[in-house]
């Protein structure tokens, strides 16, 4: 199998993935994957090959401190997921090659410039919410998603001093940021803060996003925070967060 597949250009497999998804749709299986009325598609890079001896012209190369070179391949995978389902359904993947750039971030970003329009081409009418990590939380990428008709939920990791976080924190004072707080089933204090239609950053104020974060006070005294930007408007009662425990919105205090 490996000997046969080694000679096949990955692009030749693209119609195969399309055919499988069309069949899943025909049989009504995809319908069970709907979330907020759309389909959640998680996109991330993953390693598929690494060797100190075997290489090809497409290999990315990592040079170790001792001068040893390691050859590796990665790919950018798009996978249909649902928080209640153990089975994920992969779409066609995009190979990340040496030509994509010398740094990991460049590589993944350049591969996604190919993957995102191709996914739209293969599934022109499928309403998708793309889930991506913080590497994708930048204006050119969000513009690419919007121009291809995707919804998105992207990890933000908003830094202190960023316009995004400043707008959210200022909003707590002037009422444009909402906060819902309560207690988890494990008696931990937790809450959501959200602000809709705010600028992504100073340089790209025309790129408007909705921001939402989840915070939780841990027994060790630290506060866990997860934040993301999305085009889906809050309040969070309208969507079930995929990463958090069920949140006790009933009886929770508001606007702390």
Nearer to Zn ion, 55 or 176 (CB): 55
* 59 binds Zn ion, rule: CB under 5 A: yes
Stretch that binds Zn ion, among 20-28, 55-63, 219-227, 241-249 (CB under 5 A): 55-63
58 or 253, CB closer to Zn ion? 58
Task: Using DSSP bridges, classify how beta strands 94-96 and 34-35 pair: parallel, antiparallel or unpaired.
Answer: unpaired
Q: How far is the CB of 46 from Zn ion (least distance, A)?
A: 15
The pairing of beta strand 253-254 with beta strand 223-230: unpaired
Of 36-44, 48-56, 76-84, 115-123, the window that binds Zn ion (rule: CB under 5 A) is 48-56
Cα–Cα distance measured from residue 147 to residue 253, given in angstroms and rounded to the nearest whole number: 39
Taken in order 225, 229, 235, 236, is the CA torsion positive or negative? Answer: negative
Helix (H) or strand (E) holding 90: strand 89-90
> According to the binding rule CB under 5 A, does residue 56 interact with Zn ion?
yes
How many Cβ atoms from other residues are within 10 Å of residue 74's Cβ? 21
Q: Which stretch binds Zn ion (CB under 5 A): 13-21, 52-60, 211-219, 230-238?
A: 52-60
Stretch that binds Zn ion, among 16-24, 59-67, 128-136, 144-152 (CB under 5 A): 59-67
Please tell me whether residue 256 binds Zn ion under the rule CB under 5 A.
no
The answer to the question of residue 20 lying near Zn ion (CB under 5 A) is no
Check residue 48 for interaction with Zn ion (CB under 5 A).
no
DSSP structural state of residue 220: T
Residue 78 in contact with Zn ion, rule: CB under 5 A: no
Nearest Cα to Cα of residue 197 among 169, 238, 232, 226:
232
Q: Which of residues 124-183 bind Zn ion (CB under 5 A)?
A: none
Contact call for residues 152 and 143 (beta carbons, < 8 A) = no
Q: Closer CB to Zn ion, residue 50 or residue 167?
A: 50
Determine contact, residues 209/229, Cβ cutoff 8 Å: yes
CB of 70 to Zn ion, least distance (A): 11
Q: Which is nearer to Zn ion, 39 or 71 (CB)?
A: 71
- Residue number, 59 or 129, with CB nearest to Zn ion: 59
Q: How far apart are CA 148 and CA 125, in angstroms?
A: 11
Contacts of 11 (CB under 8 A, 6+ apart): none
Q: Which two tokens stand for residue 129?
A: 């919410």
Site string for Zn ion, 21-40 (x = CB under 5 A): --------------------
Stretch of 21-29, 49-57, 134-142, 161-169 contacting Zn ion, by CB under 5 A = 49-57
Distance CA 85, CA 213 (A): 24
| Residues 31 and 39 sit within 8 Å (Cβ to Cβ) | no
Site residues for Zn ion, 190-219, by CB under 5 A, read none
Query: Residue numbers of the site for Zn ion (CB under 5 A)?
Result: 56, 58-59
């Amino acid at each position: 199998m490996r000997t046969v597949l080694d000679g096949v250009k990955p692009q030749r497999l693209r119609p195969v993935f399309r055919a499988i998804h069309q069949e899943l749709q025909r049989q009504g299986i995809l319908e069970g994957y709907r979330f907020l009325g759309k389909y959640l598609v998680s996109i991330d890079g993953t390693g598929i090959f690494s060797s100190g001896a075997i290489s090809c012209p497409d290999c990315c190369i990592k040079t170790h401190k001792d001068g040893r070179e390691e050859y590796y391949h990665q790919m950018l995978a798009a996978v249909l997921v649902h928080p209640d389902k153990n089975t994920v359904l992969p779409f066609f993947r995009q190979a990340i090659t040496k030509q994509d750039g010398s740094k990991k971030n460049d590589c993944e970003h350049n591969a996604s410039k190919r993957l995102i329009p191709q996914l739209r081409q293969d599934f022109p009418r499928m309403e998708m919410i793309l889930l991506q990590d913080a590497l994708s939380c930048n204006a050119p990428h969000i513009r690419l998603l919007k121009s291809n008709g995707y919804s998105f939920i992207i990890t933000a990791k908003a830094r202190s001093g960023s316009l995004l976080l400043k707008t959210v924190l200022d909003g707590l004072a002037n009422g444009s940021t909402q906060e819902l707080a309560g207690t988890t089933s494990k008696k931990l204090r937790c809450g959501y803060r959200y602000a809709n239609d705010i600028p992504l950053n100073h340089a790209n104020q025309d790129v408007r996003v909705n921001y939402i974060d989840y915070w939780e006070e841990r027994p060790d005294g630290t506060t866990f925070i997860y934040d993301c930007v999305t085009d889906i408007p809050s309040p969070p009662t309208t969507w079930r967060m995929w990463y958090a425990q069920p949140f006790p919105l009933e009886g929770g205090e508001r606007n702390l």
